[in-house]
A and B are shown apart, each in its own frame.
Chain A
Amino acid sequence: MSLIDPENTIPEARSPFSEAWEMFRGNTAAMIALVILCLIVLGAIFGPYLYPTDPFDMVWAPFSPPGADGFILGTDYLGRDLLAALIHGARVSIIIGLAAAAVSILIGVTVGALAGFYKGWVEELLMRITEFFQVLPTLLFSMVIVALFGASLPMITFAIGVVSWTAVARITRSEFLRIRELEYVMASRASGATNAKLMFRVILPNALPPIIVQAALMVGSAILFEAGLSFLGLTDPNVVSWGQVIGSNRQYILDASYTVTIPGLAIFITVLCISLVGDGLNDALNPKLRSR
């Protein structure tokens, strides 16, 4: 029996992130979602090499149902292989999702950080701009951008990013406003830190958790957004994506419903998994839920 002294038992050094990972691992739903997500991403990266059929080739008779004639997911109205479309389309959908999220995080964090750090007229100006973007009808606005500047992948990505950064800006700003008043920020200032260091090395890392969660959810919504635009035909016809498959088959939804439901299911599963992972991240990164 030894003396009890909680101050002098040296625990192993564990960063807040490793604790968050521990927490995340305990969340079964989020872990399953993460595994599925990894499989989808791996499929998107390596699938086209393992299943090289060109999704634009007419390989068989149209409307061949799934499983028949050797095509696992069947063929669409032009006799193109749906499985090939799904595998090749995953790349585009996921890349657009990631890139659009990256664009909106970049704009949103910059605007939010400047507004929250400098306050005063900088904040007033930036928040008015944010509000302007917030009240625009997002789908309509992005349609206008794509219609004006052409339906290329970078332009679609940009359009989605531009309409969805406002939430990130608001979260970043409120986190900055909160954290800049904490004493450790004051301590860094008192020990001679420059504004740039305060903003990016002190405050931003501590503001990241809710931004990370928002980013994860944003990937999901960007995929949905892209699907929405494709469905309306506002997409690059030379590139196959899940939304584009749905869009091009939408007239046959009653005759050959599988041509629409299968890519729809792919979107549904991917976005659901992203949401679950985002949820898990939220629980793991949110210090209020930590038992301590």
Chain B
Amino acid sequence: MALLSVKNLRIEIKTRAGVAPVIDDLSFDLDAGESLSFVGESGCGKSMTALALMGLLPEGVGSVASGSITFDGEDLTQASEARLRALRGNDISMIFQEPMTSLNPLYTVGEQIAEVLRAHQGLSRKQAWDQAVELLDAVRIPNARARAEDYPFQMSGGQRQRVMIAIALACQPKILIADEPTTALDVTVQAQIFDLLQDMRRQTGSAIILITHDMGAVAEMAERMIVMYAGRKAELGPVDTIIAHPRHPYTAGLISCVPHILSTLTSEREDLVEVPGIVPALQDFGKDLCLFASRCRHAQPKCVNQRPPEIAFGNTHQAACWRAEEL
């Protein structure tokens, strides 16, 4: 049985124009120790999915309208706030995009890690501190015992993100959600963080959900990926399969619109394949049509009349496009 199973999840948020489904009929499974990636442009519902898994949807604005999130046999959409609090940071934890603002500036990083351990594992002050130092060492902060006494402002962006990872991994969670963990960091630091995440995953057996807009990062980090578009799942499948042969035109666009560094560069430079236009506005999200149709080169009349079903290719690969089989 899958560790996490999301079934027909629909999340609605209230806007000035009315209620819009930011997540519309999303289903996927995550196995223990697996590495899954969510890809898409901003405003496609990637981060919203992560917040829903954490039970952290913005109160009064967004809520689960239907569907279920089953973690270890327990439906999180029905769980009490107290139960969610116990799960968060313990069984499911999350690291955020902005390492500058996600640490409390008034406490040392050691205290902040120890705090999590004390809250979830009931360790004594001394035990928690020792383990915090061990964790800092594990995320490759040099001279961990001394650096545990540092305040966040004394650390670089990369080091702060390492501290966030240490906090997230403190209780050896079953799932680690990383929401654009390296977007604010330099590429050499990103390489270190990815390397660290891969190592940690191997050591602790945590499943990782990586949310990103960078196909390259997906290719390096994940085994399976879900391409999200306008709150819907456009394509799901093994990373290698999808990159070799994307079935959804949006996936194909995301891959080819980025100038990639290839193994050997030639002086030839073709124009990039454009995906014209932008993601639709929120009030159009729920409509019964393919929301990508206005940007799609392959659009047909059928695409604007009815929402496409998910067409399966083998057991592991699905694409929500009317023409997926031809493409």
Q: Are A6 and B280 in contact (CB under 8 A)?
A: yes
Check A148 for interface membership: any CB of B closer than 8 A: no
**Could you say which of B278, B287, B293 contacts A6, with CB atoms under 8 Å apart?**
B278
**Could you say which of A1, A4, A7, A291 contacts B16, with CB atoms under 8 Å apart?**
A291
Q: How far is the CB of B21 from chain A (nearest CB, A)?
A: 15
Check A3 for interface membership: any CB of B closer than 8 A: yes
Q: Are A4 and B280 in contact (CB under 8 A)?
A: yes
- Nearest B residue to A5, CB-CB: B294
Kindly state the separation between the CA atoms of A1 and B277 in the bound complex, as whole angstroms: 18
**Could you say which of A1, A5, A7, A291 contacts B289, with CB atoms under 8 Å apart?**
A1
**Could you say which of A4, A7, A291 contacts B284, with CB atoms under 8 Å apart?**
A4
Cross-chain pairs A/B with CB under 8 angstroms, 23 sampled: A1-B289, A2-B304, A3-B293, A3-B294, A3-B299, A3-B304, A4-B280, A4-B281, A4-B289, A4-B291, A4-B293, A5-B277, A5-B280, A5-B294, A5-B295, A6-B277, A6-B278, A6-B280, A6-B284, A7-B277, A7-B278, A8-B277, A291-B15
Instruction: Tally chain A residues at the interface, Cβ within 8 Å.
Output: 9
**Could you say which of B278, B279, B305 contacts A1, with CB atoms under 8 Å apart?**
B305
Q: How far is the CB of A23 from chain B (nearest CB, A)?
A: 12
Contacts of A5 in B (CB 8 A): 277, 280, 294-295
Contacts of B280 in A (CB 8 A): 4-6
- A: residues with CB less than 8 A from B are 1-8, 291
Which positions 243-258 of chain B face chain A at CB distance < 8 Å? none
Contacts of B281 in A (CB 8 A): 4, 6
Which positions 268-299 of chain B face chain A at CB distance < 8 Å? 277-281, 284, 287, 289, 291, 293-295, 299
Kindly state the separation between the CA atoms of A41 and B291 in the bound complex, as whole angstroms: 54
Instruction: Specify the main secondary structure of chain A where it touches its partner.
Output: loop
Kindly state the separation between the CA atoms of A124 and B229 in the bound complex, as whole angstroms: 53
A1-B294 contact in complex given A6-B281, A7-B278, A291-B16, C-beta closer than 8 Å: no
Q: How far is the CB of A283 from chain B (nearest CB, A)?
A: 15
Contacts of B294 in A (CB 8 A): 3-5
Kindly state the separation between the CA atoms of A151 and B106 in the bound complex, as whole angstroms: 54
Contacts of B277 in A (CB 8 A): 5-8
A sample of 20 more A-B contacts (CB under 8 A), given A4-B293, A7-B277, is A1-B289, A1-B304, A1-B305, A2-B304, A3-B299, A4-B280, A4-B281, A4-B284, A4-B289, A4-B291, A5-B277, A5-B280, A5-B294, A5-B295, A6-B277, A6-B280, A6-B284, A7-B278, A8-B277, A291-B16
Residue of B284, B293, B294 ringed by the most chain A CB atoms within 10 A:
B294
Kindly state the separation between the CA atoms of A2 and B16 in the bound complex, as whole angstroms: 23
- Nearest B residue to A1, CB-CB: B304
Kindly state the separation between the CA atoms of A1 and B289 in the bound complex, as whole angstroms: 9
Contacts of B305 in A (CB 8 A): 1
Residue of A3, A4, A8, A291 ringed by the most chain B CB atoms within 10 A:
A4
Residue of A5, A7, A8 ringed by the most chain B CB atoms within 10 A:
A5
Kindly state the separation between the CA atoms of A8 and B278 in the bound complex, as whole angstroms: 10
- Nearest A residue to B304, CB-CB: A1
Kindly state the separation between the CA atoms of A7 and B276 in the bound complex, as whole angstroms: 10
Contacts of A3 in B (CB 8 A): 293-294, 299, 304
- Nearest A residue to B287, CB-CB: A4
Q: How far is the CB of A19 from chain B (nearest CB, A)?
A: 13
Kindly state the separation between the CA atoms of A8 and B280 in the bound complex, as whole angstroms: 11
- Nearest B residue to A8, CB-CB: B277
Contacts of B284 in A (CB 8 A): 4, 6
Q: How far is the CB of B272 from chain A (nearest CB, A)?
A: 18
Q: How far is the CB of B229 from chain A (nearest CB, A)?
A: 12
Contacts of B289 in A (CB 8 A): 1, 4
Contacts of A8 in B (CB 8 A): 277
7 nearest A-B pairs in the assembled complex, by CB-CB distance? A3-B294, A4-B280, A5-B294, A6-B281, A4-B284, A4-B294, A1-B304
Kindly state the separation between the CA atoms of A219 and B284 in the bound complex, as whole angstroms: 46
Q: How far is the CB of B121 from chain A (nearest CB, A)?
A: 39
Contacts of A2 in B (CB 8 A): 304
Kindly state the separation between the CA atoms of A5 and B281 in the bound complex, as whole angstroms: 8
Contacts of B293 in A (CB 8 A): 3-4
Contacts of A7 in B (CB 8 A): 277-278
Kindly state the separation between the CA atoms of A5 and B287 in the bound complex, as whole angstroms: 13
Kindly state the separation between the CA atoms of A9 and B279 in the bound complex, as whole angstroms: 13
Kindly state the separation between the CA atoms of A291 and B282 in the bound complex, as whole angstroms: 13
Which positions 115-159 of chain B face chain A at CB distance < 8 Å? none
Q: How far is the CB of A45 from chain B (nearest CB, A)?
A: 39
Contacts of A1 in B (CB 8 A): 289, 304-305
Contacts of A4 in B (CB 8 A): 280-281, 284, 287, 289, 291, 293-294
